[in-house]
Chains A and B, each alone.
Chain A
Amino acid sequence: MTASFLELQNVSKRFGGIRAVHDVSLTIPKGEITSLIGPNGAGKTTLFNLIAGQIRPSAGTIRFEGDRIDRRSLDAIARRGIMRSFQNTMILPGLTVQEHIETAALLATIGRPIDLLWRRNITRAKLAAVDTTETVLDFTGLASQRGTVAETLSYGLQKILGIGMAMAAKPRLLLSDEPAAGLNGAETERMEELLRAVHASGVSIILVEHDLRLVMRLSRHVVVLGQGELLLEGTPDQVRHDPRFIDIYLGGEADAA
């Protein structure tokens, strides 16, 4: 556990009069799977979008490896190594599975137009991208579907491809938004294995997920949000036995797992 891998200090976000996230301070450890949980409207996705740079905090700071990232754009944060895979799958029309992964590997080298000037870097990156693509195809178990046009894949496989693309861009922190949503039992198992493999390869993960059993199995660090505020955090066991957690999920709130 290295301190200050990702550090949020007093982060707040308002949308008009609504307090989506209020005064959250949080340290995300390196090399772990951290889960953000809480009932609908707890601010999980907002917090997630704040870290990814899709929206900017109204107050507070976010630091990644010591550098402030809360004023940077989504793509600049991605270039620093924080990649997100989306709740909705994201596909480029007409391209095959392999081409998607190759594109992701290539984009990591030519994120800005000025990068195109260093042809030697690109040539080297392309050679490396061939290996990366093969590794990711094996890694995600998509090797047999490499020639399939990605739009024709099942929903579950598209989500797996989404993680594969993020991996091809070599992230240090993967933000995964509801990876298991809409998946059946077998697909959820496959997703779980994949996330474990991502973690084993040295990538830290932040997970937003409704499936509490999956969360408790996967993560070492669980963060519970409620009405935009940090309620508690700890290991799955600590969280599971905390009365506040029981109160949120079993007393009152209807959409418990």
Chain B
Amino acid sequence: MSERWSVIGAVGLVATAALPLLLKDAFLYHLGILICIQAILGVSLHLMLRIRQLSLAQAGFMGIGAYTSALLSRDLGFAFPVALLAAIIVPAVIAGLVGSIILRIKGVYFVLLTFALGESIRLVFVEWIVPFGGNNGLTSIPGIAVFGLALKARSAVYIAALVALGGSLLAAYLLLSRDQGRVLSGIAHNEMLLQSLGTDVTAYRRVTFAVSAAIAGFAGSLYAHYLGYISPPAFNVTASVGALVFNVVGGAGFLLGPVAGALLLVPLPELFRDAAIYQSLFYGVALLLLMLFLPRGLIGLLVGRKP
């Protein structure tokens, strides 16, 4: 039953992913790339949700990745791969350091702390005009290049974004499976028991937080180099809430949940430009309805009743 559905799901995903390549439409490519980037942000939050800690700092980490990568390549002349690597490492290190303190706090207080952290990160981008450019942000960020070859064609960037999404999913999967996955699921369900059996729960949380920030930073780098322009509002708490909505809509219990959520929700404001101002309202209502009627999300609906 679940095996058949995973085959159908995989075929559906591949078909959806291939759609822009078949239709060769510039707007579809653009949408596809944005979906991949937002889905990666969704995957980064997904890791935190798996240890039952809602972080609203994810978009902030994405911003750190975006600005790190943009400044390194544009102002300091580093090659894209180096900038990308830095965009992964810097947010991970920051999350690891901050995590040592804030990960001891749980529940709604952790949410509030990460809310404050996310806003602080955004304010740094706004207030420190040198080097972050303030409200105007940064422009003329060089494009994505692989082995010194600039990806000019949208199709090539799209394929790169798909590969990046695949890589992020793989990284998340590795963290959530096998031995470490058992530990993380134990932390989510019965932290006290694991501690009594000798598990350093805070250290495992810190690793998860760092990996999730790394993935968010990765998304940020792709975002910066794809659009060529970044500004602080893209990394505000609303963007983190967006990542939460992807997870809830798609199914927070499944690794592919945030991907399904992003696939459904990212095109909406792009398709209905005028409705963009109602996005927060829409997210709020969608979140309420889903929690009431579809607590396991779209993938939960596909997979069936069994938890």
- Is B one of A's binding partners? yes
Interface residues, chain A, CB within 8 Å of chain B? 52, 73-76, 78-79, 83-86, 90-94, 103-104, 106-108, 110-114, 116, 122, 165-166, 169
Decide: A74 and B180 in contact? CB cutoff 8 A: no
Cβ of B2 within 8 Å of any chain A Cβ, yes or no, is no
Cβ of B200 within 8 Å of any chain A Cβ, yes or no, is yes
| Contacts beyond the supplied A92-B186, A113-B203: 16 A-B pairs with Cβ under 8 Å | A74-B196, A75-B201, A83-B196, A84-B196, A86-B192, A90-B196, A92-B189, A103-B186, A106-B182, A110-B180, A110-B199, A112-B200, A113-B200, A116-B180, A166-B196, A169-B198
Decide: B195 and A110 in contact? CB cutoff 8 A: no
Decide: A108 and B197 in contact? CB cutoff 8 A: yes
CA distance A83 to B192 in the complex (A): 12
Please name all residues of chain A whose beta carbon is closer than 8 Å to the beta carbon of B179 when the two chains form the complex: 106, 110, 116, 122
Among B198, B199, B206, max chain A CB count under 10 A is at B198
Majority secondary structure of chain B interface residues (helix, strand, loop or mixed): helix
CA distance A79 to B206 in the complex (A): 19
Decide: B195 and A78 in contact? CB cutoff 8 A: yes
Decide: A91 and B203 in contact? CB cutoff 8 A: no
Selected from A76, A85, A108, A122, the residue in CB contact (under 8 A) with B200 is A76
Known: A107-B183, A110-B180. A90 touches B192 (CB 8 A): yes
Please name all residues of chain A whose beta carbon is closer than 8 Å to the beta carbon of B307 when the two chains form the complex: 94
Please name all residues of chain A whose beta carbon is closer than 8 Å to the beta carbon of B206 when the two chains form the complex: 113
CA distance A74 to B202 in the complex (A): 11
Distance to closest chain B CB from A130 (angstroms): 15
CA distance A106 to B181 in the complex (A): 12
Fill in one digit per residue for B189-219: 1 if any A CB lies within 8 Å of its CB, else 0: 1101111111111011011000000000000
Selected from B189, B200, B203, the residue in CB contact (under 8 A) with A93 is B189
Distance to closest chain B CB from A49 (angstroms): 11
Q: List 9 A-B contacts (CB under 8 A).
A: A75-B196, A75-B200, A78-B199, A86-B196, A107-B199, A108-B198, A165-B193, A166-B197, A169-B197
Please name all residues of chain B whose beta carbon is closer than 8 Å to the beta carbon of A90 when the two chains form the complex: 190, 192-193, 196
Selected from B185, B197, B203, B204, the residue in CB contact (under 8 A) with A78 is B197
Please name all residues of chain A whose beta carbon is closer than 8 Å to the beta carbon of B196 when the two chains form the complex: 52, 74-75, 78, 83-86, 90, 166
Please name all residues of chain A whose beta carbon is closer than 8 Å to the beta carbon of B203 when the two chains form the complex: 112-114
Please name all residues of chain B whose beta carbon is closer than 8 Å to the beta carbon of A114 when the two chains form the complex: 203
Decide: A113 and B207 in contact? CB cutoff 8 A: yes
Known: A106-B182, A116-B180. A83 touches B197 (CB 8 A): yes
Among B195, B197, B204, max chain A CB count under 10 A is at B197
Please name all residues of chain B whose beta carbon is closer than 8 Å to the beta carbon of A166 when the two chains form the complex: 196-197
Please name all residues of chain A whose beta carbon is closer than 8 Å to the beta carbon of B207 when the two chains form the complex: 113
Fill in one digit per residue for B206-250: 1 if any A CB lies within 8 Å of its CB, else 0: 110000000000000000000000000000000000000000000
Among A73, A75, A76, A116, max chain B CB count under 10 A is at A75
CA distance A86 to B206 in the complex (A): 26
Known: A75-B200, A110-B183, A116-B180. A92 touches B190 (CB 8 A): yes
The list of the 5 closest CB pairs from A to B, nearest first, reads: A78-B198, A90-B193, A79-B198, A111-B198, A113-B207
Distance to closest chain A CB from B65 (angstroms): 22
Known: A110-B180, A110-B183, A112-B203. A74 touches B195 (CB 8 A): yes
CA distance A196 to B212 in the complex (A): 47
Nearest residue (CB) in A for B193 is A90
Please name all residues of chain B whose beta carbon is closer than 8 Å to the beta carbon of A108 when the two chains form the complex: 197-198
Nearest residue (CB) in B for A89 is B193
Selected from B180, B193, B199, the residue in CB contact (under 8 A) with A111 is B199
Known: A75-B198, A78-B198, A165-B197. A91 touches B183 (CB 8 A): no
CA distance A83 to B197 in the complex (A): 6
Nearest residue (CB) in B for A126 is B179
Known: A91-B190, A110-B180. A104 touches B204 (CB 8 A): no
Decide: A107 and B180 in contact? CB cutoff 8 A: no
Distance to closest chain A CB from B195 (angstroms): 5
Nearest residue (CB) in B for A93 is B189
Selected from B182, B189, B190, B199, the residue in CB contact (under 8 A) with A75 is B199
Decide: A104 and B180 in contact? CB cutoff 8 A: no
CA distance A169 to B190 in the complex (A): 17
Nearest residue (CB) in B for A165 is B197
Distance to closest chain B CB from A133 (angstroms): 14
CA distance A74 to B194 in the complex (A): 10
CA distance A141 to B195 in the complex (A): 25
Please name all residues of chain B whose beta carbon is closer than 8 Å to the beta carbon of A104 when the two chains form the complex: 197
Distance to closest chain B CB from A46 (angstroms): 17
